[in-house]
Homo-oligomer: A and B are copies of this chain.
Amino acid sequence: MAKRNDINNCATCIYRSFLFSNLKAEDLSRVNISKKEIAYDPGEIIVQQGEKISSFMYLREGLLKISREIDNQRNQIINIAHPMDFIGLLSVFSEDYYHYSITAIEFSSLCFIDLGLMKDIIRKDGGFALKLLEKMSSMNEMILHNRLLISQKNLRGRIAHILQFFSKEIYHTHEFTLPVTRKEIAELIDMRTENVVRILSEFRRDGIIQIAGKVIQVLDEDNLSRIEEFG
């Protein structure tokens, strides 16, 4: 793990999530004392697949990719995590070792909370446990739902989907800078790099988007939506 700069107090942290707002004052203080805040630059690996799980992680700021190795040199990206996500909620409570890697794809700031402490709080505070169950349930449902959607779409539909994802869910604007390479897009939506490029070019030819390297501008969102839906 990298640079440390514990600057914030959980009680006043503007990033404090809905979940932690349900914590009792005493427990919040325990979290505050134990937590470690770490910042990562794009490309930095936060968790290596196979590593032992010892922390409960909370993404304050930035963007991460959660991925896993399939064979020698092929990767599969499971999810892109936004702020307020409890990353690794995927399996913190079921597995001893991470089944996936976590990498920063933008400048990111994470809080690490000792897993033992979290479990202790859960055991003592059933109300908090229920909130956590709900959060976990909805995160898992979302990721699975996404996978099920993608597997039904053709390649154009998938590209449209991922463009809408970045435009609407991540950056909330029509013009944005892709935080991932073409290859990573391919790994995220089950296709080949060449076809990502090809279809992006096609969309540009058709006046649906504008491309300047990693900067994308959505010009015809209606059309993009139609392609996403029917593709």
Taking Cβ atoms with an 8 Å cutoff, the residues of A that contact B are 68, 70, 76, 78, 89-95, 99, 119, 122-127, 129-130, 132-138, 140-141, 143-145, 147-148, 151-152, 190
Contact of A140 among B124, B127, B134, B144 (CB under 8 A): B144
Q: How many copies of this chain does one complex carry?
A: 2
Bound-state CA distance A125–B99 (Å) is: 29
Smallest CB gap from A135: residue in B: B94
A145 with B93, Cβ < 8 A, contacts A136-B137, A190-B151 known: no
A99 with B148, Cβ < 8 A, contacts A127-B123, A133-B129 known: no
Q: Which 3 A-B pairs have the closest CB atoms?
A: A129-B129, A94-B138, A94-B137
Contact of A144 among B123, B143, B152 (CB under 8 A): B143
Query: A215 to nearest B CB, angstroms?
Result: 29
